[in-house]
Structure 1
Amino acid sequence: MKIGIIGATGHVGTFLTNEALTRGHEITGIVRNVPEETQDHLTFLQKDVFNLTTADIQDFDVLICSYNAPEGEEEEHVQVMKHLVDILKGTDVRLFVVGGAGSLYVDSKLTTHLFETDEFPDEFKPTSINMSAGLDYLKNSDGVRWTYLSPSKDFLLNGARTGKYKVGQEQLLISKYGKSEISMADYAIAMLDEIEEPEHQQQRYTVCAM
């Protein structure tokens, strides 16, 4: 497939790019700054996400948004969702969003988000609140084919690539070891699995280490 990845050179974006390349997909990294050293079979579109147009993305089969708003500008998570919905409407491009864990619920009745709990770090709340609002906007949008994947509470940059994970919907998952965690490598595997064999269209879901 032809896959565009917004933020392809970021932490999560790098794992997604590498996983997609190993599976033989045609990848375009959408970035503000093109790195000096690049990989084979990887092309770049140098453009700010807010300047993307329908013409830029309409030839992709999938557009992955791995955007991370700068500190102090967390409201851009909502603005990015609005912009992507606008340019994707009326196309066949599937939108995949790298979400956050803060918007997951911690109770079976789905009344309390993780970011609303006492132990959630204050410094992460602006990002989580705005990412949650962006998800709500996406859920209420029409004419866009989307999937939103939230990681577990601990999103591990240097975690092992096991190729195994368990899947949930709106509630925070816990592994058999009592931890809510997923490596970025396994998260990338989960997203590419979903891209290749869709099971969560028009849904948010989450993955956790076994």
Structure 2
Amino acid sequence: VSAVPGRGDMLGKVRPAIQQLLSVLPGDVRIGIIGGAGGSLVAPGGPRVIDSGFPDEFKPEAQEAIDILEDLQADSSGRDWFFVHPAGGFGAWNPGERTGKYRTGGDVIVTDADGESFISGADLAVAVLDEIENPQHVRGRFTVGY
């Protein structure tokens, strides 16, 4: 599982690193990528979060994660993978507390009744472990939040 964000000194380096990793891993090894909210959809059928008032300062990082997702989607090797879009309010600036629950939203960002999108690092980790232990998104992506 890769949870490396393409920000700061890592901007522009994560995508090539994932490509290199995939080139040396055996084909039967499943890979998981923790991306960002930017590539998830705001509603069924689009548009993406990044195209809907997304802050400019986060767009390069979000685009790198989107590019990794598109690389996985274009891969014809048959390798299994999953890509997780955390909630929009996920990050080190908002660690949150473990609640022991989460919701998944397919391609659409998970929001609460007020339209807010959050998840703690601990609950995101549980969602990732649940996907590893009981795969529900074979060669696919999913969103996660409260």
Same-fold call, TM cutoff 0.5: yes
Q: 1:208 to 1:93 in 2, by over 3 A?
A: same
1:157-202 per-position Cα deviation (integer Å, ceiling 9, x unaligned): 4211011111111111212343111111100011111111111111
Flag structure 2 segments of 5+ consecutive residues without an equivalent. Answer: none
- Give the TM-score normalised by structure 1: 0.63
SS in 2 for 1:128: helix
Q: Cα offset for 1:106?
A: 1.2
| Structure 1 position 145 matched with structure 2 position 83 | no
Cα distance in 1 for partners of 2:132, 2:57 equals 32
The structure carrying a bigger strand percent of its residues is 1
CA RMSD after TM alignment:
1.7
Give the conservation status (yes or no) of the 8 Å contact 2:40–2:48.
yes
Q: Which has the higher helix share?
A: 2
Aligned length: 143
Could you say which residue in structure 2 is the equivalent of 1:56?
none
Residue in 1 that maps onto 2:12: 75
Aligned to 1:107: 43
Larger Rg: 1
Question: Identity over aligned residues, as a percent?
Answer: 34
Higher relative contact order (CA 8 A, sep 6+): 2
Q: Where does structure 1 lack aligned partners over 5 or more consecutive residues?
A: 1-63
1:200 equivalent to 2:140? Answer: no
Runs of 4+ in 1 over 3 A off after TM superposition: none
Shift of 1:97: 0.8
Residue of structure 2 equivalent to 1:125? 59
The one-letter amino acid of 1:163's match is G
Matches for 1:1-210 after TM superposition, within 5 Å? 64-71=1-8, 73-90=10-27, 92-110=28-46, 112-118=47-53, 120-141=54-75, 142-156=77-91, 157-209=94-146
**Shift in Å, 1:75:** 2.2
1:140, distance to aligned residue in structure 2 (A): 1.1
